[in-house]
Amino acid sequence: MEEITRMPLLGEEFPKVKVQTTHGPKVLPDDYAGKWFILFSHPADFTPVCTTEFVAFANKAEEFKKLGVELIGLSVDQVFSHIKWDEWIEENLNVQIPFPIIADSAEGVSKKLGMIHPGKSQSNTVRAVFVVDPQGKMRLMIYYPQEIGRSVDEVLRAVKALQISDKYGVATPENWPNNELIGDHVIIPPATDIQTAMERKGKPGCFDWWFCHKELKES
């Protein structure tokens, strides 16, 4: 298999990397084979916005786990800094960080995945989120500038939507399951032949042959 030397795109395999974390050494994506995982980077330890994000990820960790999703943090800081910051959060904010944090270098995972952007310090990562599926494929990427804290609820929502889409072969609308137009319904793939298109015209749940929705009934 040809090695990817650029940032992987959606649907491509997550590059194999060995990393040092606060939970010991790990190999990505191998150590998470058969599981979903989220790798998210933060600019630096002991910074206010990053601290609010880590508290939010920690508080939602059980919800991610119920979906079979593991969390992994990352920044260009030494593991000693991660450990101390982890302790500080628990001692001062009464929140335990249950997931590992990767101690990276500017030439390591951060560079491979495009977490270090021009115009910013070359020792700081942007706020990136990578969702990887059980087959080790990159399924979602979100980038935020250093100044803007991300929404952990949105990350959780997006993972739920990905899993629903995979399981039922449907699409999900904007802000699913709270869409202004169709609520918690899901979108049926558009017709790909004339007969199906004509059959859908005027049917309940169809605005037109190319835009039909239905209630999701999970088994």
d(CA 149, CA 46) in angstroms, rounded, equals 15
Neighbours of 99 (CB within 10 A): 20
State percent of the chain over pLDDT 70. 93
Q: What local confidence, expressed as pLDDT, does residue 125 receive?
A: 78
pLDDT band, residue 151 (cuts 50/70/90): very high
pLDDT band, residue 2 (cuts 50/70/90): very low
pLDDT band, residue 212 (cuts 50/70/90): very high
Q: What local confidence, expressed as pLDDT, does residue 219 receive?
A: 59
Q: Could you confirm whether 50 is annotated as catalytic?
A: yes
| C-beta of residue 177 within 8 angstroms of C-beta of residue 169 | no
State percent of the chain over pLDDT 90. 75
Phi-psi region of 48 (alpha: psi -120 to 50; beta: other; left: phi over 0): alpha
Per-residue pLDDT at 1 exceeds 50:
no
Query: For residue 158, what are its two tokens?
Result: 């997006």
Q: Which of 38, 39, 50, 89 is catalytic?
A: 50
- Cα dihedral 63, 64, 66, 67 sign: positive
Across the range 133-162, mean pLDDT stands at 94
pTM of the model: 0.90
d(CA 39, CA 129) in angstroms, rounded, equals 6
Lowest-confidence region among 60-74, 81-95, 116-130 = 116-130
Residue 134: partners with Cβ closer than 8 Å, 6 or more residues away: 33, 34, 35, 36, 68
pLDDT band, residue 122 (cuts 50/70/90): low
Q: What local confidence, expressed as pLDDT, does residue 63 receive?
A: 97
Query: For residue 76, what are its two tokens?
Result: 């260009």
Domains (ranges, CATH) in the chain? 17-149 (3.40.30.10), 169-219 (3.30.1020.10)
d(CA 2, CA 13) in angstroms, rounded, equals 11
Per-residue pLDDT at 117 exceeds 80:
no
Average pLDDT, the chain: 91
Query: For residue 9, what are its two tokens?
Result: 């795109």
User: Between 79-93 and 48-59, two packed helices, what is the crossing angle to 10 degrees?
Assistant: 70
The arrangement of strands across the sheet holding 69-75 comes to 24-28, 17-21, 101-103, 69-75, 36-41, 127-132, 138-144
Neighbours of 13 (CB within 10 A): 14
Per the model's pLDDT, the better-predicted residue between 214 and 125 turns out to be 214
Across the range 118-146, mean pLDDT stands at 85
Give tens-digit pLDDT for 34-60: 999 999 999 899 999 999 999 999 999
